[in-house]
Structure 1
């Protein structure tokens, strides 16, 4: 857990409008935070992203005609398309309904991952995190074993409480990113938001906050997901890094715990480049801890233009995009954009009835309750229907 005194959101802080920081050098962001409080920070899903404006639907994204880009990219290229998800089999539909019916009954959860930990009521942002896509990710990650999926879902929610993942503020994380060592920038050919990791730009001493930084940036990458996409693309370049920039095995295992156990199915591709010999040795050391499915998504020293449109791929990685990291431009823009998307997601979720696994249409921001009327005219939620379906299929 981070020092709670470093995670406090100042009273009266205001959300920064990202449009006002597009290419200007704003006042330092180190003293202001627009991070939402834990009870106001819903996780996003592919069906619960910000409504796309008419202009965004008709206009192609373009890089600045003069000067370098200094802010994140807010949408993928029109030619980029996410793959259609595989249709569920009848057996998989039954297992999904079983998990949905179970999590819909959760009223409290352990506050930590320790055995016998005290429980606390389930919060709204935790209920919203339990999207249809989330439940399906955990089912796929556990090879459709419903007890294992339920156990891991509960474990992740307890871990996020224990770790403080929903309490990390932009102010608290800001010093870690002053050199731009982690960047959400652009989208790959399948509309995955790209998260750049540059170990050579390490600017702080080893601490828990370094891992908190990655957790925070993964959450911001998820905030930037477009409709129809649930995973991210990692670009890790070791160019210019020395022995001091290589994380310890303990740190690597902490990162793998976040990625594999608490962000299952979130990694779509990992493009790793410029590996010196000691990093290759490091990967060999941690290889036994890497899930085979995760290893299959890793690509070493391959042309990244094969995976990312050159116009949105940073020149330092072989693309055509002129990008310059300016912390006072980039950080408030990213924070403001993610805050805005989360507010819009939450508003649609609340309008739809604040239901677990609620389906929310993205276009136009209209919520779809995905509910039907029962015999007496009452509205049945998706969870009610799932439970009824499980009972019917169990007879």
Structure 2
């Protein structure tokens, strides 16, 4: 899943005919397509007056002022539990939630990062599609922005630190996103899929991972390309909501009120795993799966052989969710204290407006930092971290004269690794 960029937005339309169906990401019961953060998402067309009108009519209206006050506190400082019924997104983790420490790299791992960084820094074109011998086309700014230091490290970890494999998969993902149109889907196009709240980005776990709720029991559409696009869109929005220092997401999958007919097929599930494991590696932090009837258990056994062992370790079945999520930010419907009711007219613009704002800020920081491959994600997400350009300026390295010098590029890579802490 890529990070913030300016790419053409596509309101609707079928999948790229050349994109194989197995390169599709399903949910338990539906499946959407991966829009990157590099995309410029068109938000749901809703005015402040519309939102106010919706909140002042009916039971939810009585808590409108309290909700507005809680939102203001979220913007100003530490997250505060809402008073009354909550119907929008949550923008911050709880104050006592902490991201896990970043792994310390060995000298060998640092050398492998430097090798991959040096190689991708020289890329001027990449294949336009994933087809064998596909024509090359120029790499775009939003694709360069996706190649952060952490992105490169994620692909190295996913390939067991095999540099050739990491390079191959990085290029493959970039070509796949082009071919699949993963950066072109808008909020207006996806909106009908989420009218029943079958997927929700809501709150954070104890390690500051944004939570994506998957509720297959709320399925509201027939199987289509747009279902596949929907999950991908929501996965990218979940990444948009990551705070500095966090790289992974928490999935809460609940099969309450679901039926056998809402489950994806084995082929669709394999396609989802292909995207999650091959094109979004190291993005899954936890998958907490609850209320599983017998046919769901059977289903997971059927697809078990296709699930990577590392992914399996992150899957927890029917456990107490409060072990992983603070009760203040865990939906009451899942055993927490957060009184949340889904209203599409409120939630959908709330989610997309916040993500648009974050994407724009991310892109602006990347531009201000000199549009560098290997940029720090903590800096791009607004954390207390210098940009890579600032680190280079302090070091006295002149990168302007020898843009593609291997020696200079290797020095840049080493400096990025020496400054990995926020």
Q: State how far apart, in whole Å, the 1-side matches of 2:91 and 2:48 are.
A: 11
Which of 209, 222, 230 is 2:247 aligned to?
230
1:60 aligns with 2:89: no
**What pairs with 1:166-181 in structure 2 (closer than 5 Å)?**
166-181=183-198
Q: State how far apart, in whole Å, the 1-side matches of 2:225 and 2:405 are.
A: 40
Which of 304, 308, 314 is 1:287 aligned to?
304
Cα displacement string for residues 321-374 of structure 1 (whole angstroms, at most 9, x for unaligned residues): 000111110111111100100100111110110010123632479645131434
Query: What are structure 2's unaligned runs of at least 5 residues?
Result: 1-8, 15-41, 56-71, 415-422
Q: Structure 1 residues 14 and 76, CA, compared in 2 at 3 Å: closer, same or farther?
A: closer
1:125 aligns with 2:142: yes
Q: State how far apart, in whole Å, the 2-side matches of 1:18 and 1:342 are.
A: 20
* 1:6 matched residue in structure 2: 12
Q: How far is the alpha carbon of 1:25 from its aligned partner?
A: 2.6
1:349 aligns with 2:366: yes
Q: State how far apart, in whole Å, the 2-side matches of 1:59 and 1:213 are.
A: 32
Cα displacement string for residues 86-111 of structure 1 (whole angstroms, at most 9, x for unaligned residues): 11111100000000000011111111
**What pairs with 1:208-219 in structure 2 (closer than 5 Å)?**
208-219=225-236
Cα displacement string for residues 214-236 of structure 1 (whole angstroms, at most 9, x for unaligned residues): 11100000000001000000000
Which of 328, 347, 350 is 1:311 aligned to?
328
SS in 2 for 1:209: helix
Number of residue pairs the alignment of both structures matches: 358
Report if aligned partners of 1:109, 1:119 keep a CA contact under 8 Å in 2.
Answer: yes
Report if aligned partners of 2:43, 2:353 keep a CA contact under 8 Å in 1.
Answer: no
Query: What are structure 1's unaligned runs of at least 5 residues?
Result: 27-53
Q: State how far apart, in whole Å, the 2-side matches of 1:73 and 1:123 are.
A: 32
* 1:89 matched residue in structure 2: 106
Say what the alpha-carbon RMSD is for the aligned residues.
Answer: 3.0
Cα displacement string for residues 83-141 of structure 1 (whole angstroms, at most 9, x for unaligned residues): 11111111100000000000011111111111011121111111000000000000000
1:254 aligns with 2:268: no
1:161 aligns with 2:208: no
Q: What TM-score comes out, normalization by structure 2 length?
A: 0.78
Say which is worse superposed, 351-360 or 213-222, in terms of deviation.
Answer: 351-360
Q: How far is the alpha carbon of 1:63 from its aligned partner?
A: 3.0
Q: What TM-score comes out, normalization by structure 1 length?
A: 0.83
Report if aligned partners of 2:73, 2:80 keep a CA contact under 8 Å in 1.
Answer: no
* 1:373 matched residue in structure 2: 396
Q: Structure 1 residues 379 and 314, CA, compared in 2 at 3 Å: closer, same or farther?
A: farther
**What pairs with 1:14-93 in structure 2 (closer than 5 Å)?**
25=54, 59-66=77-84, 68-93=85-110
Q: State how far apart, in whole Å, the 2-side matches of 1:64 and 1:23 are.
A: 17
SS in 2 for 1:133: helix
